[in-house]
Amino acid sequence: MLLEAQGAVMSRDEIMNRIWGSSFVGGSNVVDVQGKSLRKKLGDNPAAPKYIATVRGVEYRLA
């Protein structure tokens, strides 16, 4: 999904709706948990991201 966005910033709500649909009943922190897990698997450093960047107040984009 981040690849398809081509560097555009995606909010938590947008990510949750596109992946799990509008009927998802979990908390918004599920996106953060999945992002952290993905970064770990990729060996990406959040302080100097090569793959997934966090944009404060908005959320994530492909670095």
Look up the CATH number of the domain holding residue 8.
1.10.10.10
Helix axes 12-20, 29-42, angle to 10 degrees: 80
Classify residue 30 as exposed, middle or buried by CB count within 10 Å of its CB (0-12, 13-18, 19+). middle
Q: 9: pLDDT confidence band, cut at 50, 70 and 90?
A: very high
CA angle 25, 29, 33 (to 5 degrees): 115
What is the distance between the alpha carbons of residues 62 and 24, in angstroms, rounded to a whole number?
Answer: 24
Domains identified in the chain, total number: 1
- pLDDT for the residue 43: 94
Cβ count near 1 (within 10 Å): 11
Of 2-11, 18-27, 43-52, minimum mean pLDDT range: 18-27
Residue 33 belongs to domain spanning: 2-62
